[in-house]
Amino acid sequence: MEILYRSTRSGDTLTASQAVLQGLGRDGGLFVPCQMPKFERSLEEMAGLTYQELAYEVMRLFLTDYTEEELKNCVARAYDEKFDTPEIAPLREADGAYYLELYHGATIAFKDMALSILPHLMTTAARKNGTKGEIVILTATSGDTGKAAMAGFADVPGTRIVVFYPKDGVSKVQEKQMVTQRGANTCVVAIEGNFDDAQTAVKKMFGDREMEKELLEAGFRFSSANSINIGRLVPQVVYYVHAYLQLMKRGVIRAGEEINITVPTGNFGNILAAYYAKRMGLPVKTLICASNENKVLTDFFETGVYDRRREFLLTSSPSMDILISSNLERLIFELTGGDASVCASLMEQLKTEGRYELTAEMKQKLSGFVGGYASEERNFEGIRELFEKTGYVIDTHTGIGNAVYRDYVKRTGDKTPTVIASTASPYKFAASVLHAIAPEKTGDLDEFGLIDLLTEISGLSEPPAITDIRTAPVRHRTVSSIEGMPDTVRAFLKG
């Protein structure tokens, strides 16, 4: 069955590969499948597949205009020895919950799961659609996404990538990760300004028709790798199916029994993928949406009102410090019963008034979700408790999922086996993790000192991604003003 895609804000349809190439609808809407595909093989059959085979089996149902050979190729190039375990996404039991470790890729955070395959989905899409010119990815980053995108696009033929980061706005480890990036098609630029300045300037370049024309003549076209691309969502559905099958294989559940899934989220991307897995037929009872102190989603699930008019808080789970959850638009579209004009008007309200409210009927359809949040203190306490009880160390984003899940169980007594998405290696946020598990030992250690301490305390071994940056040579030294960003891009492309 062919699956077509449409924008959440209007009616035109595209093929899967066209939606991957375009990223965002011209009306500002997000692409969603016109109908949700259903599994075509039984859970028992799928349980025998490797991660790569399962990735193909799930993704083929969404990306129906890719041939078998094309899609299998994309999968093979993505989920290879860039991951430090052949399991790709191992499931670890600790204190009665199942932690789905999504951080075994190149940059030790879950964005690798999708960004390792997106470049291949994109270049394949360009070839299929006869699109001319090299694909140029432009990304402004506050630290994590840019590095994961570069790791994915580095040395992929037919692509180039330019990443802008705020010069004094990222951690030392993050900066080191970026400036040591390999790949002749990568360009890293430190910006004299903050993240918002860089983001605004990137959006301006995307909208600059003159620059577009000039670059097209030189053989380049801009594209975006950000999390609203359907090509990032679909690969994320795979690992929830994989986790369910693991629980089956271990005898924790029988085929058909329901599980719960807890996801620490900000942009609503990762949890939306779990919801899509459920809509495809995965037996899931409750999706627990875990937020940090920027709890706009918790309030939304409780009241049916989305209200971004509130103070933006900086927390120790920075990748979830978000007040506008872009991917929620895909869920809203479903709640309207697929009415793009209602969805568009709610998004317009969010833009102009900073809030919108669901109707009672729409709110009723949220019954499969529970929202919850954890304070900074509760997060640290939960990480410490888990470590003291089991020796298992989780990072501060996973910690939010952990705390919200434990509080949920206390409140409801729900004993359903639960998968918690584990979104980053504790090594990526060593300072915060140590603040939770050994605050008396951190002293005035620098970032690598903290990493050594973490190894000593946790008994974990240092991931290759960390070892690598200790000695990797600096390859990028470009610094640019905000105004100078377009010329920096021109200089890189035209050499």
Question: Which positions touch ligand PLP (CB under 6 A)?
Answer: 109-111, 144, 227, 264-271, 319-320, 397, 423-424
**Residue 184 CA neighbour count, 13 Å, CB half:** 3
CB of 170 to ligand PLP, least distance (A): 13
CA pair distance 291, 86, nearest whole angstrom: 31
Residue 66 or 275 having the CB closest to ligand PLP: 275
Cα(370)–Cα(297) distance, rounded to whole angstroms?
A: 10
Kindly state the smallest distance separating residue 455's Cβ from ligand PLP, in Å: 20
Query: Between 248 and 383, whose beta carbon lies closer to ligand PLP?
Result: 383
Q: How far is the CB of 364 from ligand PLP (least distance, A)?
A: 24
Beta bridge partner(s), residue 221: 135
Question: Is 270 or 336 the residue whose CB approaches ligand PLP more closely?
Answer: 270
Distance CA 385, CA 401 (A): 14
Q: Which residue is nearest to ligand PLP (CB)?
A: 269
Nearer Cβ to ligand PLP, position 60 or 279? 279
Shortest gap between Cβ of 396 and ligand PLP (angstroms)? 9
> Is 488 in contact with 189 (CB distance < 8 Å)?
yes
Buried-exposed string 309-335: b where 16+ CB fall within 10 A, e elsewhere:
eeeeeebbbbbbbbbebbbbbbbbbbb
Q: Which residue intervals of 365-477 are DSSP H helices?
A: 376-390, 396-412, 430-437, 447-458, 464-471
Helix (H) or strand (E) holding 98, with range, is strand 97-101
Are 98 and 418 in contact, with CB atoms under 8 Å apart? yes
Min separation Cβ 432 and ligand PLP, Å:
12
How far is residue 7's CA from residue 34's CA, in Å, rounded to a whole number? 9
396 near 383, Cβ under 8 Å? yes
Rounded Cα distance between 27 and 455, Å, is 49
Tell how many helices (H) and how many strands (E) occur in the chain.
Answer: 22, 16
Minimum distance, C-beta of residue 218 to ligand PLP, in the bound complex (Å): 33
| Token pair recorded at residue 252 | 């924790």
Minimum Å gap between C-beta 273 and ligand PLP is: 8
d(CA 294, CA 333) in angstroms, rounded, equals 23
Using CA atoms, how far apart are residues 375 and 370, in angstroms rounded to an integer? 17
Dist. CA 108–CA 83, nearest whole Å: 9
Nearer to ligand PLP, 145 or 458 (CB): 145
Whose Cβ is closer to ligand PLP: residue 98's or residue 110's? Answer: 110
Tell me the sheet residues that pair with 91: 100
Q: What's the rounded Cα separation, in Å, for the pair 93 and 418?
A: 10
- Report, in Å, the least distance between residue 110 CB and ligand PLP: 6
CB closer to ligand PLP, 109 vs 437: 109
- Residue 306 C-beta: closest distance to ligand PLP, Å: 15
Nearer to ligand PLP, 265 or 402 (CB): 265
Residue 113 vs 215, nearer CB to ligand PLP: 113
